[in-house]
Amino acid sequence: MYRFPTILLSRHRLYSTTSQPLELPLSHPIYTIWGSNTGVGKTLVSAGIAASSLLSPPSSVKFHYVKPLQTGFPSDSDSRFVFNKLLQLRNRNNNNARISLSASNRVLNFSPATTARENEIQHLVGEEGFISSELICKTLYAWEEAVSPHLAAEREGFVVKDSALLETLQKCFSEVSESGVDKVRSEVFCVVETAGGVASPGPSGSLQCDLYRPFRIPAILVGDGRLGGISGTISAYESLTLRGYDVVAIIFEDHGLLNEGPLFSYVRNKVPVLVLPPVPKDPSNDLMEWFEGSHYVFNNLKEIMLSAYFERIKKLHEMPSKARDIIWWPFTQHKLVPDGGVMVIDSRCGENFAVFKKTEVITPLFDACASWWTQGPDAKMQAELARDMGYTAARFGHVMFPENIHEPALNCAELLLQGVGKGWGSRVFFSDNGSTAIEIALKMAFRKFSVDHGLILDCHEDATNERSAELMVLALHRSYHGDTLGAMEAQAPSSYTGFLQQPWYTGRGLFLSPPSVSMYNNKWSISIPEEFQWENKELENITFASRAEIFHRCRDNSELAPVYSSYISKVLSGFRGSSKIAALIMEPVIQGSGGMHMVDPLFQRILVNECRNRKIPVIFDEVFTGFWRLGVETAVDLIHCEPDIACYGKLMTGGMIPLAATIATDAVFDSFIGDSKLKALLHGHSYSAHAMGCMAAVKSIQWFKDPFSNPNITSEGRLLRELWDDKMVHKISSHSAVERVVVLGTLFALELKAEGDNAGYASLYARPLLQKLREDGVYMRPLGNVIYLLCGPCTSPEICNQLLVKLYERLEEFDGCSN
Amino acid sequence: MYRFPTILLSRHRLYSTTSQPLELPLSHPIYTIWGSNTGVGKTLVSAGIAASSLLSPPSSVKFHYVKPLQTGFPSDSDSRFVFNKLLQLRNRNNNNARISLSASNRVLNFSPATTARENEIQHLVGEEGFISSELICKTLYAWEEAVSPHLAAEREGFVVKDSALLETLQKCFSEVSESGVDKVRSEVFCVVETAGGVASPGPSGSLQCDLYRPFRIPAILVGDGRLGGISGTISAYESLTLRGYDVVAIIFEDHGLLNEGPLFSYVRNKVPVLVLPPVPKDPSNDLMEWFEGSHYVFNNLKEIMLSAYFERIKKLHEMPSKARDIIWWPFTQHKLVPDGGVMVIDSRCGENFAVFKKTEVITPLFDACASWWTQGPDAKMQAELARDMGYTAARFGHVMFPENIHEPALNCAELLLQGVGKGWGSRVFFSDNGSTAIEIALKMAFRKFSVDHGLILDCHEDATNERSAELMVLALHRSYHGDTLGAMEAQAPSSYTGFLQQPWYTGRGLFLSPPSVSMYNNKWSISIPEEFQWENKELENITFASRAEIFHRCRDNSELAPVYSSYISKVLSGFRGSSKIAALIMEPVIQGSGGMHMVDPLFQRILVNECRNRKIPVIFDEVFTGFWRLGVETAVDLIHCEPDIACYGKLMTGGMIPLAATIATDAVFDSFIGDSKLKALLHGHSYSAHAMGCMAAVKSIQWFKDPFSNPNITSEGRLLRELWDDKMVHKISSHSAVERVVVLGTLFALELKAEGDNAGYASLYARPLLQKLREDGVYMRPLGNVIYLLCGPCTSPEICNQLLVKLYERLEEFDGCSN
């Protein structure tokens, strides 16, 4: 068998934290010039655009040319080429007499191996005349050897980290923006010319198309007019779009092969394709005539770039009001959305949104609500998932599932049973979201219960069986299992269930108030509801030395255990009559939507055991808790007891697309086996086990648990390392504005002290605090007066700490104004 | 503005019907050799693999080398090169003395411009010895000019259609398979060498990576070791995977630039990367030494190819039993899945599955159930959607929706309101599937009704409002609105709703039996339920001269209209007490799951009007009927009346991924506006308005209605042309086994005459008929004794007709055996 050279498999992390957010100003057009191969004329195109901008009266233009990576320096220097050509062109044509051009060329960072140290040259041609334009050429990093930057960097001992490169580029953009303060949009222009082809490595080894991705700068692709160039151009275009770039135009040099035909037809009405005249091959040719002959093409290109830029700006400005007019947002009182409160998300890169600000900048915001708890990928994982999505859509789209099998579905089911379902689960039923997964789980549990308890004596094909009993669930107060009616019926009455919201809701359950655990003032302690009717007053102030202690199995022998079990027994035996408790359903450990409450795991374990003793099927709702959300792949590992049925969704696909799964034991499955189709589980959604969802799940499940791809996985592979800094957690838990803290796995939650209308789901109390945090680059959403930070399983503790620091600082202010 | 050269925008259809299905035999390994550019050494690699296979004792091997497209012929001929090199290599090495090699080289089709006519040469080297191997080289099509095939084809007047090329290739594969009848798997080997780069056009202009896609042959990618070659290799790899190909290995010539480093790290543990020694550049070099020096690399490559082949075969054979063990299929009685009844779907290409048959062939099956009615794309649309999925995943993944906006969601909402919601819809609420869209619609309708009828007098923030009334829906018998409890409550009792299935179901509706329309014996007629209590006996035999007549508005003045309206009035006014009819919900025109019944559109129109007069909100369930399913974009255009709320799903994303939308009027939306969040619609799923779903919907909505991309759109743009051949439809409707036919838009349905257990949802009556049709390449699923064909909005009438012919033929047999 072929073996992979392990030496080359370095754990590589894209975009480790930069000291400031990577912002792209939109005040003026900024473009990247990509090549479909090396040597296709990117620099000629850059110079052509510069000429078209600078030498077209009557505008007075500042043109920024940026070459981030230059190898073969100083004999090669693309920025010097652009500089020289523009000066030559300025002097050549009489029409340019009215233009004075000041031009500069700088190199910001040299490899120590380079001999040259000419770090700045400047020129002014023409008199200070009517139109005074400026060309600013910059090379950010230069190496001597004429090889790929990653090789040159290694050989010359001058490796540049991705984050450093991005920060340098960011500074250039700020300068672009500043240089245009008093100028109209089109009078400042910036092009960034990449090195080699679109997927050529940068100095750290990251492919450039990945490296520059956080800015997502609109792209001009210089295609290849040679034999084979159609293919190379299309593939390069696909590599760019497969990373979420918008390609605004394709331009290439004519080699007489009519490559434009197939290219036109490929990009159809999406991207214009322009053809440049053949470039003279004689090295002594100064190209002046060629540039003049190409002038109309470059003018055309410049117009396309400008018009795409203006269109983008226009769209970004219009989107909020358009959205307000036609979108109906979930869980949103439209009347309460403040003016200017609609946020345009231009893209996402790993854990960050890229958001359009009215100050005309695209800026990152850490997605600390994990987009309703779905998100997990870092930038690298998102890029890989995107490629898998393209592949799976092309290979499968969606295909019919019942009685069929396809690779992604089978692989996904296997991984689920080897992972979250390990030790108990035998069957996987796919659906679309957590809510449907719960409805399916309830149907499964009720059948199992009915079979076990003789409620279905006669399994004939009678579809309209009499209702032999009223089946109820046993569930916990503050639990939430989804928005569809069946899922809602399994939750206690709440803001979501009133007549106003769902006139059909009746609440078919017995709802218990569970004891909960939280940290306050640096101490974990239990809060036990009154219903438990204390005989022993000492139980009231139980605290824990560490969080680990809370989850320890030895608590089975603690004095609380008999208190819990006798309470549960009493409740269950007190429940009589025609109704029957036919299922236990609960979110293990953390109740999410109910306000990020940590239920005492001991209580949940005893509850499960009591139900099992009574042959009541147990459902775990792991839609929120599954897949490392709580620091372990499944909360089963925290509460040390297993369900008969469990539901998964959200993070299962790494936050890409909707997919849910209900896992069950064979015993549950068997209660649906019979001779008639009517005994089968007659439930299924159109996109059951859709290939893309399954593929995303396969990739995510593997990615999160592989120490190679997820640096947070500890060596044993069963735990995430601690992501939240202990000191900061303690500090926040001791803050005067804070009622309680819950911290576990990827979750850090806190409840703000609040009273009256300020408390509860509809409270707007936390809003000003979160508004401030958005200014700090952190996007949170409140659950009333409970707020939380949710990172991904791969997020670095360094980033988590930054979040905590920002939160603490704003808490300080918040505390100030609320007192 | 830049204008697109319209002359180049030809309407191009991939894979127009071939005379036989395109099957890929798996009895022996078949691979495609792709190049990341032209001139990277594909032919050297092909020859190397051939040498490694043929000249490695002790196997006696048949090696097929296929060059589908050769330009520059006869001076260039890759198959001749392989032929010559192998003969040379056989003679060179003493170790080969024990091998006799018979070799042939044929050219099957010449462009008329080529001068050479050497269409076959043969050689035998060595004596008929112990090991007798055979090399069969073939060029399928040859052109004289040394340019891209599409140019050569055009210039030499020898254009080859994609379908013809694929059929020729298919014949080669059959020969490969036949040549190996008495040989073990690894003793026959076939490589297909493409021309130029992966996305170089074939003779028709289709890109080769698209052209060969129906076979989805595993790929070997010959990379580029030159400067810039990392980028070109990665981009080519991405173009292949973005079309659903599996790349099994990457191999490239060493140019001393260490390109393997970044390539290793890019493909990580997925694909092996192999490096070949530098190729001598002297044209007089016979490369014998190079081949010998490369022998170990080619051996390695051959082993990788063999082991990937064996692994694929093994997987394909094992998948059915593995699936049986762990999958829980929706709507499936596992006990009734016959042995060998689990189908492995290896991929999909447009309307066809590619299915693995136990005879070891991958064969297409027309997806006539449209994978639970979700499918619409042809092969070209699927390819474009796949690229969009990759782009959107990379750009957005999923991002938080409430109070935010992103481009795909806004564009999708706009297109929905300009399309299916045109003239009435104002707001779009996104969810995940038809069932959730319905639950949302019900919540909307109930609120609107409650506000309009004063049931919510006091809109205070009281979450636990008293239930002021029992709200019910008005719905039709045989309707089906989804599997979640809320959606189920809105349907009449059925096989899906019994205690066995859903103990919580109560059926909160008033359910009417609607009059229905169908074709029998070549005649459309109405069937009216008894409840209507005829005064006028003549109404019993109403027939229509044409289908169009059924939908004509002039029927408002027919004698049936007052009959319908007085019946509805009577029912509605007879409904009194504490319960209130608070919503009408119905599938317009066609009731899908209920058995493909066409409800009389006149009845539905009158029902809508009667409800509107009583301020009862009207919900259309267009999950099945929307997006051209019935030949119009929305069934509103068929029944000529508008809803207050409508639900969409399935085909909305072109069958790619789950997404649903509930569209409502402003009046409905306004009933949720207030000062408290508690008055908002507190419903939302994790992946609300996920970017990929919205993007797929944007592309699909546009694609289906654009006459450029959808040739079935008539010039007025509001109707699909008739897809089902009139004569065949009449013939089938007159068949003795047929009870009724319904044909409309993309749907052709028929009910088989059946009695007793043979009728109804759980009936297995149609099974043998559909089994036979699978042998004919048509995949259908029954609804009991109702069967149907569902094509896509872009499917050609030619294909539809083939389906009808096959169905008719099997009906003839079926009729025979059932009598």
pLDDT digits (tens, 9 = 90+) for B108-138: 999 988 876 667 788 888 776 677 899 999 9
Residue-level pLDDT at B15: 63
User: Average per-residue pLDDT in chain B?
Assistant: 92
Under the banding of pLDDT at 50, 70 and 90, the label for residue B16 is: low
The answer to whether the beta carbons of residues A433 and A660 sit under 8 Å apart is yes
Q: Within 10 A of B458 (CB to CB), how many other CB atoms are there?
A: 6
Asked whether the beta carbons of residue A230 and residue B201 sit closer than 8 angstroms, the reply is yes
Residues from chain A contacting residue B205 (CB–CB below 8 Å): 261-262, 265
DSSP string for B347-383: EEETTEEEEEETTTEEEEEEETTHHHHT----HHHHH
Q: Residue ranges of the alpha helices (H) in A754-796?
A: 767-775
Using CA coordinates, name the residue in chain A closest to B261: A8
The answer to whether the beta carbons of residues B473 and B492 sit under 8 Å apart is no
Q: Residue ranges of the alpha helices (H) in B194-342?
A: 208-211, 229-241, 260-267, 288-326
Asked whether the beta carbons of residue A328 and residue B427 sit closer than 8 angstroms, the reply is yes
Token pair in block for residue A748: 């850090």
Q: What is the 3-state secondary structure (H, E, C) of B174-200?
A: HHHHHHCCCCCHHHEEEEEECCCCCCC
B374/B648 Cα distance (integer angstroms) = 11
Asked whether the beta carbons of residue B762 and residue A404 sit closer than 8 angstroms, the reply is no
Residue-level pLDDT at A467: 66
Residue-level pLDDT at B182: 86
pLDDT of B142-182, one tens digit each? 999 999 999 999 999 999 999 999 999 999 999 999 988 88
Residue-level pLDDT at A97: 74
Chain A interface mutation, best of B76, B221, B231, highest count of A Cβ atoms under 10 Å:
B231
pTM here? Answer: 0.96
The number of helix segments (H) and strand segments (E) in chain A equals 22, 30
Residues from chain B contacting residue A390 (CB–CB below 8 Å): 238, 241-242, 386-387, 389-390, 393
Residue-level pLDDT at A8: 37
Residue-level pLDDT at A818: 46
β-pairing, A219-222 with B660-664? unpaired
Please name which of B444, B336, B344, B419 lies closest in space to residue B668, comparing C-alpha atoms: B444
Question: Exposed, middle or buried: residue A661 (CB in 10 Å: 0-12, 13-18, 19+)?
Answer: buried
Under the banding of pLDDT at 50, 70 and 90, the label for residue B457 is: low
Within 13 A of A96's CA, how many CA atoms are on the CB side?
19
DSSP string for A696-742: HHHHHHHHHH-TTT-TTB-TTSSSBPP-S-HHHHHHHHT-TTEEEEE
Asked whether the beta carbons of residue A231 and residue B196 sit closer than 8 angstroms, the reply is yes
More confidently predicted of B464 and B29:
B29
Of B369, B432, B500, the CB nearest to A433: B432
Residue-level pLDDT at A435: 97
Which A-chain residues 557-586 have CB contacts (< 8 A) with chain B? 582
Residue-level pLDDT at B531: 83
Q: How many CB pairs under 8 A join A and B?
A: 688
Token pair in block for residue A673: 């086996």
DSSP string for B390-441: HHHHHHTS----TTEE-HHHHHHHHHHHHTTTTTT--EEEEESSHHHHHHHH
A201/A215 Cα distance (integer angstroms) = 17
B714 interface with A at CB cutoff 8 Å = no
Q: Tokens 């109910």 belong to which residue?
A: A594
Q: At what angle do helices B288-326 and B42-54 cross, to 10 degrees?
A: 80
The answer to whether the beta carbons of residues B620 and B442 sit under 8 Å apart is no
Residue-level pLDDT at B155: 94
pLDDT of A126-176, one tens digit each? 776 677 899 999 999 999 999 999 999 999 999 999 999 999 999 999 999
- Across chain A, which has 819 residues, the per-10-residue mean pLDDT values are 37 62 94 96 98 86 97 94 95 80 93 77 76 93 94 95 96 94 92 97 96 97 96 98 98 94 91 97 94 96 98 97 97 93 97 95 97 96 97 98 98 98 98 97 97 76 62 96 96 88 94 96 92 68 93 94 93 86 98 96 97 97 98 97 98 97 98 94 96 98 94 86 96 96 98 90 88 96 95 96 97 67
Residue-level pLDDT at B131: 79
Of A198, A265, A465, the CB nearest to B235: A198
Please name which of B88, B179, B167, B169 lies closest in space to residue B136, comparing C-alpha atoms: B179
Instruction: Provide the CA B318 distance to its chain's centre, in angstroms.
Output: 24
Instruction: Provide the CA B502 distance to its chain's centre, in angstroms.
Output: 32
A476/A24 Cα distance (integer angstroms) = 47
Chain B interface mutation, best of A306, A405, A428, highest count of B Cβ atoms under 10 Å:
A405
The DSSP secondary-structure symbol of B207 reads: B
pLDDT at B404 over 50: yes
Residues from chain B contacting residue A368 (CB–CB below 8 Å): none
Long-range contacts of B716-722 (CB under 8 A, 24+ apart): B718/B632, B718/B633, B718/B637, B719/B631, B719/B632, B720/B628, B720/B631, B720/B632, B720/B745, B720/B746, B720/B793, B721/B797, B722/B797
Residues from chain B contacting residue A655 (CB–CB below 8 Å): 397-398
Residue-level pLDDT at B5: 40
Asked whether the beta carbons of residue A678 and residue B500 sit closer than 8 angstroms, the reply is yes
With a CB cutoff of 8 Å and minimum separation 6, the contacts of A510 are: A472, A473, A474, A475, A571, A575, A581
Using CA coordinates, name the residue in chain A closest to B326: A427
Asked whether the beta carbons of residue B439 and residue A485 sit closer than 8 angstroms, the reply is yes
Asked whether the beta carbons of residue A261 and residue B205 sit closer than 8 angstroms, the reply is yes
Asked whether the beta carbons of residue A12 and residue B304 sit closer than 8 angstroms, the reply is no
Within 13 A of B569's CA, how many CA atoms are on the CB side?
7
Question: Exposed, middle or buried: residue B569 (CB in 10 Å: 0-12, 13-18, 19+)?
Answer: middle
Which A-chain residues 23-42 have CB contacts (< 8 A) with chain B? 35-39
DSSP string for B662-699: EEE-HHHHHTT-SSSGGGS-----TTTT-HHHHHHHHH
pLDDT at B670 over 50: yes
Q: What is the mean pLDDT of residues B537-546?
A: 81
pLDDT of B192-244, one tens digit each? 999 999 999 999 999 999 999 999 999 999 999 999 999 999 999 999 999 99
Token pair in block for residue A373: 């708890």
Asked whether the beta carbons of residue B327 and residue A779 sit closer than 8 angstroms, the reply is no
The answer to whether the beta carbons of residues B57 and B99 sit under 8 Å apart is yes
Asked whether the beta carbons of residue B151 and residue A257 sit closer than 8 angstroms, the reply is yes
Q: Could you tell me the domains of chain A? A: 30-319 (3.40.50.300), 399-459+467-705 (3.40.640.10), 726-818 (3.90.1150.10)
Asked whether the beta carbons of residue B327 and residue A409 sit closer than 8 angstroms, the reply is yes
N- to C-terminal Cα separation, chain B: 70
Residue-level pLDDT at A242: 98
Q: Tokens 């043929």 belong to which residue?
A: B54
More confidently predicted of B563 and B816:
B563
Residues from chain B contacting residue A238 (CB–CB below 8 Å): 235, 238-239, 242, 387, 390
Please name which of A30, A22, A32 lies closest in space to residue A194, comparing C-alpha atoms: A32
Using CA coordinates, name the residue in chain B closest to A498: B464
Asked whether the beta carbons of residue A684 and residue B150 sit closer than 8 angstroms, the reply is no
Name the minimum distance, in Å, from the CA of A644 to any CA of chain B.
Answer: 15
pLDDT of B795-809, one tens digit each? 999 999 999 999 999
Asked whether the beta carbons of residue A657 and residue B692 sit closer than 8 angstroms, the reply is yes
- Is cis: bond before B29, omega within 30 of 0? no
The DSSP secondary-structure symbol of A266 reads: H
Of B242, B498, B781, the CB nearest to A390: B242
